[in-house]
Structure formats: C-alpha cells, structure tokens
Amino acid sequence: YLLLGRWRKKHLTYRILNLPSTLSPSRAQAALRQAFKYWSSVAPLTFREVKAGWADIRLSFHGRQSPYCSNTFDGPGKVLAHADIPELGSVHFDKDEFWTEGTYQGVNLRIIAAHEVGHALGLGHSRYTQALMAPVYAGYQPYFRLHPDDVAGIQALYGKKSPETEDEEEEISTMSPVTTKPSPMPNPCNSELDAMMLGPRGKTYAFKGDYVWTVTDSGPGPLFRVSALWEGLPGNLDAAVYSPRTGWTHFFKGNKVWRYVGFKMSPGFPMKLNRVEPNLDAALYWPVNKKVFLFKGSGYWQWDELASTDFSRYPKPIKALFTGVPDQPSAAMSWQDGQVYFSKGKDYWRLNQQLRVAKGYPRNITHWMHCRPQTADTNSFTGDTTPPTTDTILDTTPSTVDSFLD
C-alpha cells in the first residue's frame, strides 16, 4: 500500500451531492454509505452523512465537462472515478458509467466508491491486483471484503479499531471486526432463520448460526458475529424479541434467556427458563396488547414483562390466535408496518391486525430479504440484492446462569 496523506481527525462528515441515473436513489445512497462502512469497520474512523452545507468528503458525479473539476472523465469505460487526497475530500465518479449494485453487469458503485473513499482517506494504489485499492477495477464480487493490504494501509494511517474508540453515536455496522478464520457463513438470501426481530431504533435483525445481519429495503447488510454486537451472547439462538415497552431485548436458547438493554447485558443474565418449555421456536412482541409471545411446537405463551404472569393455562394452541400460521415456526416478529411475520424454512407468512394470514402467503423468504441475484436495480422494496459483506469478529464464552420468569 502507499500512503498519500492523512486526516488530522477521525470523525469525518460526508455529503452525497448528486446520484447516478442508472440506480434508484435509495440503492445508490445505500451503496455509497456502505463504501464508508468498510473503512470504519477496521479503523477508528466514523463517518456522518450531512445533507446540506459543508462536509469533509464530498461525493459527486460529473461527465466530460465539469465546472468544478479539472480532471474531465472520458465516457463509458477507461477512467471510472477519481478523488483528492487528504484533507481535500473531493470524490468524483464518471456519470457516464453504467453504475450498478448487486449484479455483474456494469460497474459496481459500492466497490468503486470504497476505493475512492480509500484515496480520500489517504491511501494510494496497492500493488495487490486483488486489493480494493488496486488501480484497475477487478469486477463485481458478491462477497466483497477488504484485502489485508487495504486493512494494513488504513490502519497504518489511523490505527486499529479497538472497543475503547467506539462512539455511541456510531452506526452498528461499524463495530470492530478482528479477522479470525470465519465459521461457515450463512447466505442471507437463502437461509432458514433462527430468529428475527424488529430491534431498537427500528432496525430489523435476522439471526442465523453465529451471525446476525440487518435487513433493509436495499437488501441484507453486512454479517456480524452475534457476540460482536451483544457481548456474551452465543450463536444458534432459538428466539429473539425486543420490547419497546421495556426497552429490553431478550434472547432465548435451550433453557436459558439473556436480557440486554441496547447492547449491554443486564446484570444477573443469562438466567434459566423454568416456567415455559426450553428450546423455544420463536418470540415476538405484539404492540397491540404490549405483551411478548413465546412459541414452541403448536403452542404459545403470552408473557407480561412487567407483571407476574400466570402460565398455568399455557401453552395455548397457536392456531387459536394466529390464523393460518404453521406449527414450529423458526422465527417471528411484529414489524413497523403493523403486520406480524412468521418464518419457517424458506417461507414467510404475513398476518394482519386481526392476526390472520394475508392472501398470497406464504412467500419465499428471499423476497423478504430483498434478494434477487443477477438483476439490475428495480424499485426499492420489490427486491434486489445487496449481497452481504463479510466481517468476522471474535467470539466470547457464556457466563453463569440463574432462574428466570419467576
């Protein structure tokens, strides 16, 4: 790697001044935002997007002529983009390129943006032809990740990312990975989920094995180890549920339950489950009656977090309350749209306010994940794919156990 310069500060702002015409605005913005996350996930850098006024790093698209840039572009192909080194902050893309996301066609905006942001942060071109900072575009990579030379370069400039440097305001996805040999990673686009939940700050999480990722309208986000976000939490969960009423997030596995507030485990947890059966299938919070529902097999328990619940009449049949839902769901959640979702295998069901499965369900879960490989962008929410980036983070061991739900 070659170092060309450095910012004297580590909390930078950026602004997207305009967007390409070949991607939907939300798609293009997601790609550009992700470009920053590659760097903030391996170095103590934070990037905050501003919508107006001055920004440290300014991203824009221009063609052959630009009143703001002496380096003109040259139409499709050849030069794709260029950027100034610190502390100038200009990043320009050739607007005449066929910018794409999630497909081998055209030029992947996310990868090129990450390359140019690398320049804007002070990195020159890398000698490794497979590195992000290599001068020539190596093409779209579904499971793109930074090359060790890229990581070594940015850490030579800004140091390594350590827990102390985390900033509460930071986006979750900038949490620090340390590269260990990754256990097999699920493919978000065709995995049976262990759990799903609408978590704090309206983020939708999907859990599978040791990993968790967010689901947005532009597809699955980067994969993280569960324990990297919720320290002390094991993988292969049975169920997960966040309650806006209490701010508690509960995770269930076997005969244990973990409670977190935000990403901090509450004292005394994990505890032992003793009044509902172990090895739950799913859990959800239903905002209509502000209760948590726990599911296993063909039965469910309704639990009032803030009162002692009489479970003697539980479990009750799932079908008695949730019409059209299969037994043994693998995951469940209430979502922002007021609907309730259940998943099982590769299918998912949507239920309306009357807890009745809507027409046309079940559907394939890749639809819900907004995955549709190999196609150019369509409108956001009908599904396109942003294959996940893959960061791997250290694991931690579980702690002592007490009893719960008393």
Catalytic residue annotation: 116
Specify whether the CB–CB gap between 158 and 120 falls below 8 A. no
- At its nearest, how many Å lie between another protein and the CB of residue 100? 13
Contact segment (CB under 8 A) with another protein among 135-143, 216-224, 234-242, 373-381 equals: 135-143
Q: Cα angle vertex 369, ends 366, 375, to 5°?
A: 70
| In the complex, minimum distance from the CB of residue 134 to another protein, in angstroms, rounded to a whole number | 9
Amino acid at 215: V
Q: Which stretch binds another protein (CB under 8 A): 69-77, 211-219, 259-267, 287-295?
A: 69-77
Candidates 18, 21, 71, 403: give the one binding another protein (CB under 8 A). 71
Among 6, 10, 11, 125, binds another protein (CB under 8 A): 125
Q: Residue 391 corresponds to which tokens in the numbers above?
A: 């960061």
List 343's β-bridge partners, or say none: 331, 348
Q: Rank residues 99 and 213 by Cβ distance to another protein and give the closer one.
A: 99
Nearest residue (CB) to another protein, 68 versus 381: 68
Does position 135 bind another protein by CB under 8 A? yes
Q: Does 136 bind another protein (CB under 8 A)?
A: yes
Q: 129, 323, 328, 375: which one contacts another protein (CB under 8 A)?
A: 129
Report the C-alpha gap between 25 and 27 in whole angstroms: 5
| 80-99: contacts with another protein (CB under 8 A) | 80-83, 97
At residue 80's C-alpha, the angle toward residues 74 and 82, to 5°, is 100
How would you classify the pairing of strands 204-208 and 195-198?
antiparallel
d(CA 284, CA 295): 9
Count of residues near another protein by CB under 8 A: 23
Q: Which of residues 1-30 bind another protein (CB under 8 A)?
A: 2
Least separation, in Å, of the C-beta of 79 and another protein?
4
Are residues 184 and 350 in contact, defined by beta-carbon separation less than 8 angstroms?
A: no
Return the number of the residue (82 or 346) whose C-beta is nearest another protein: 82
DSSP reduced 3-state for 353: coil
Please tell me what DSSP assigns to residue 175: P
SS3 at position 121: coil
Candidate segments 13-21, 72-80, 160-168, 299-307, binder of another protein by CB under 8 A: 72-80
φ, ψ of residue 181 to 5 degrees: the values are: -65, 115
- In the complex with another protein, the residue whose CB is nearer, 146 or 318, is 146
Contact 109, 144 (CB under 8 A): no
Which residues lie near another protein (CB under 8 A)? 2, 71, 73, 77-83, 97, 107, 112, 115-116, 119, 124-125, 127, 129, 135-137
